[in-house]
Structure 1
């Protein structure tokens, strides 16, 4: 049975579904409720309520279930910012990761997957493919990649010290059913605005949305399947994997795909001067798991719009 923290969330729920489709049972470990989330109600999934920052509640799961693997997708950094003192918030964030490793050690779990982010590559002076073995700068432009870099370093140490396979998932920009407006790229806001028949609200983006801007954009169903494959692979040759589409997708491509389904969508973006296009190299992921993305931009837009039009959350 695979314990999934953050399993009721956006990427987590798709990961749980993918694990189920591969024949694996899951237990969700979630903070707010002990009820199974609606999007997973049809699956035979167990739920345990608790907080990864509370070691006792986490270890209690092992008294009721035989946990054979852990996928740790719950937030492990003080984001979004709170009124909690920064030292306390940092201690709690790092403590959650340490508790996961402690639980794995207590339960005899051999492999723990931990969510990282494409953001760790910020500042790498390279155009084209971003590979897992590239040196990363010590600084980061945002709190999320800051803590993910710290987590990756801790995982490297703890993996060697404990003998547990701690696998980092460097997850690219992800969109799809159950998602929400993202501060780093406009695709979800564009989709939701098209379905609502309104202009997209893009003022909260960290980087202005120009038509030529590009990102390795991965559809969430592919993201969840990639994580499931990494968790269940018989053998992994590395500790860090890019979880992505393996290509750069421009905002203009996203707009064009949406307009094939919603021709009158009000999605005009300024041209501007696009920065260099990067994408995540997924050779490791493909070689060790056989993963291939199933959704290109067109299929992803069609599926996402159909999901929204079926009356799901907007």
Structure 2
């Protein structure tokens, strides 16, 4: 019996594959390598192909006995989703539909979906609870919410049980240093800060210093990528154990401001890290932090790498050893 990881060559997907390998699971990876990296797949059988290609899915399902699926494959750049939403609806929503139809055809009834806290939009409460309103403010978040709803209807019609995991910012790298974060282009704060520490960027841009927070910069929820991988595996275990479909938030339990992230990176790296302060970006909320109380209680998830120093130190190890990412 195998676990299929779609998007398993990507950042969080590859760390989940590594975690599955560490506990001896049989792994199948499907990735079109549009954003992922073949070098990041350290275990399992890799199929290079797209979810929207029926022939590829037939090969995956006919050649392997798939027990459950962890579904990461998606486009995920918020800004790009607002410029070319069609790309996001076709890849994310239609791609998931193709996957669900093949799951039903081949009798695979368990799926863990890597969703996003962007499904909530502007938060009504902080920290955000699973029962809060979902009203995405960008096309990316809207596609993820549509995917969640579609998966839910496949449960109603075909008894496909699912757990959707909503979270904000993954950061850090695997303790082995074998895999890490390498996006093209890079839009995440922690790797951007570390690229500046390496001299690959002239500075870090900080957008807005007049937010109603302690230091005036935005506060965000950061989770170590290996803790996220653990949560996805716990969700698989829950489904295989007979759990009902559910949605869980994943959060660190505290937020970190942009300035805090930069100051922590300066301490960890010993580098100056130049900063340029710029105007606010439209649509950036002051504070985004998710409550993970339900995931901790029901899934037994206990993130153990929740100090910003530890998150940045693991990322710094990766970026120092691979300053050009997987191109090294």
TM-score of the aligned structures, taking structure 1 as reference length: 0.84
User: How many residues are paired up?
Assistant: 302
* 1:230 aligns to 2:235 (yes or no): yes
Q: How does 1:47-58 map to 2 (within 5 A)?
A: 47-58=46-57
> Which residue does the alignment assign to 1:303?
314
> Which residue does the alignment assign to 1:23?
24
Q: Secondary structure of the residue that 2:28 maps to in structure 1?
A: strand
Q: Extract unaligned runs of 5+ from structure 2.
A: 173-179, 210-214
Q: Report the more deviating stretch, 193-202 or 143-152.
A: 193-202
Compute the displacement of 1:125 (Å): 2.3
Q: How does 1:1-314 map to 2 (within 5 A)?
A: 1-32=2-33, 37-41=38-42, 43=43, 45-75=44-74, 80=80, 86=86, 90-91=89-90, 93-126=92-125, 128-137=126-135, 140-176=136-172, 177-180=180-183, 182-183=186-187, 186-196=189-199, 198-202=201-205, 208=207, 210=209, 212-233=217-238, 234-236=241-243, 238-268=245-275, 270=277, 276-295=286-305, 296-311=307-322, 313-314=324-325
Q: Secondary structure of the residue that 1:28 maps to in structure 2?
A: strand
Q: Deviations over 1:212-243 (max 9, x none)?
A: 31111112122222112212233545521113
The 2-side partners of 1:161 and 1:276 are apart by 40
Compute the displacement of 1:49 (Å): 2.4
The 2-side partners of 1:46 and 1:36 are apart by 14
Q: Secondary structure of the residue that 2:20 maps to in structure 1?
A: helix
Contact 2:14 2:41 in 1 (8 A): yes
The 2-side partners of 1:299 and 1:248 are apart by 15
Contact 1:245 1:282 in 2 (8 A): yes
Compute the displacement of 1:68 (Å): 0.6
Contact 2:265 2:309 in 1 (8 A): yes
The 2-side partners of 1:136 and 1:161 are apart by 23
Compute the displacement of 1:89 (Å): 6.9
Q: Deviations over 1:147-180 (max 9, x none)?
A: 1111122122221211111221212111232244
Q: Report the more deviating stretch, 297-306 or 271-280.
A: 271-280
Compute the displacement of 1:248 (Å): 1.0
Q: Deviations over 1:12-41 (max 9, x none)?
A: 1011111222322211112249x9822334
Compute the displacement of 1:66 (Å): 0.7
TM-score of the aligned structures, taking structure 2 as reference length: 0.81
Compute the displacement of 1:46 (Å): 0.6
Compute the displacement of 1:282 (Å): 0.8
C-alpha RMSD over aligned residues: 3.1
Q: Deviations over 1:58-98 (max 9, x none)?
A: 02212211111111111168984699994x87455432111
Contact 1:182 1:189 in 2 (8 A): yes
Compute the displacement of 1:256 (Å): 2.2
The 1-side partners of 2:93 and 2:134 are apart by 20
Contact 1:186 1:209 in 2 (8 A): no
Q: Deviations over 1:260-296 (max 9, x none)?
A: 2223322446499996433111112112222222221
The 2-side partners of 1:266 and 1:312 are apart by 16
Q: Extract unaligned runs of 5+ from structure 1.
A: none
Q: Secondary structure of the residue that 1:59 maps to in structure 2?
A: helix
